[in-house]
Amino acid sequence: MVPPGTPLYRHRLATRLWHWINAIAVVILFGSGLGISNAHPRLYWGAYGANFDHAWAQLPHFPGWLTIPASYNLAISRRWHLFFALVLAFGLLAYMIASLFNRHFRRDLALTGKDVSPAHLAEDVRDHVDFRFHDADDPGRYNSLQKWSYILVIFLALPVMILTGLALSPGMDAAWPWLLQLFGGRQSARSVHFVTSALIGGFTVIHLALVILAGLGNELRSMITGWWRVPA
């Protein structure tokens, strides 16, 4: 066991930079996306959707304190959304390339036999429910739930959100018509985009809650300096 108080270099520079850039981008994308949603708060499947078509989901009107800008302005919401979508997409690409070179993916996210064992995953869930986050022999390593959540977000949710966002752009439709067909039409792409965004929002809330429960100061220091201390 690693003694409590031992400093461990947990996060490399590329990971820390991407984390904070991504955090800013996601917050602004959520706010501007909710502002865009207020323009037509209905979700459809297929190629078309209008006021009198059947919607599978009726979204609420989001209050101004959640949207960007605070007052309804579809044009400004779109500008914020499109700019930070580029920040998110190119930031993710740069992070993936850097993580291949510094072996972050192989070192921290590679799944082992234990990580796919239902019994071990159930034990990991029980440890989290009991607020025991650092009981592993090597507490500096990601636990199985961390690996799975980061893999699903980085390699599935974020790419799907980026691709569906591209599918909603008329300019991209002209260049890559197959992209819109991949998601079954513009309205299906919009629905998948919104659902994926909601899942990432849920992940963000759970992530913040676990950071606070695991030790806010220690976790923040590790994401700023890279150094993390083994807690008691």
**CB–CB of 144/114 below 8 Å?**
yes
Residue 20 Rama label (left phi>0; alpha psi -120 to 50; beta): alpha
Tokens of 198: 């909601």
Classify residue 47: in a domain, yes or no: no
The DSSP symbol for 58 reads E
Classify residue 182: in a domain, yes or no: yes
pLDDT at 60: 95
Q: Which residue has the tokens 């599935």?
A: 156
pLDDT tens-digit profile, the chain (232 residues)? 677 778 888 899 999 999 999 999 999 999 999 999 999 999 999 888 888 889 999 999 999 999 999 999 999 999 999 999 999 999 999 999 999 999 999 999 999 888 899 998 898 888 888 888 765 556 778 888 999 999 999 999 999 999 999 999 888 877 888 888 999 999 999 999 999 999 999 999 999 999 998 889 999 999 999 998 888 7
**pLDDT tens readout for residues 141-177:** 888 899 999 999 999 999 999 999 999 988 887 788 8
Q: What domain count does the chain have?
A: 1
| DSSP calls for 199-231 | HHHHHHHHHHHHHHHHHHHHHHHHHHHSEEEPP
pLDDT at 8: 87
Classify residue 69: in a domain, yes or no: yes
**CB–CB of 29/175 below 8 Å?**
no
Classify residue 7: in a domain, yes or no: no
Tokens of 223: 């994401």
Q: How far is CA 54 from CA 20, 45, 49, 69, 156, in A?
A: 40, 9, 8, 29, 29
Residues in the chain: 232
Classify residue 9: in a domain, yes or no: no
CATH number of the domain residue 141 falls in: 1.20.950.20
Tokens of 110: 């590679």
pLDDT at 207: 93
Q: How far apart are CA 95 and CA 88, in angstroms?
A: 10
Residue 180 sits in which domain range? 14-42+56-229
pLDDT at 171: 82
pLDDT at 153: 96
pLDDT at 135: 59
pLDDT at 137: 58
Tokens of 7: 């400093």
Classify residue 49: in a domain, yes or no: no
Classify residue 6: in a domain, yes or no: no
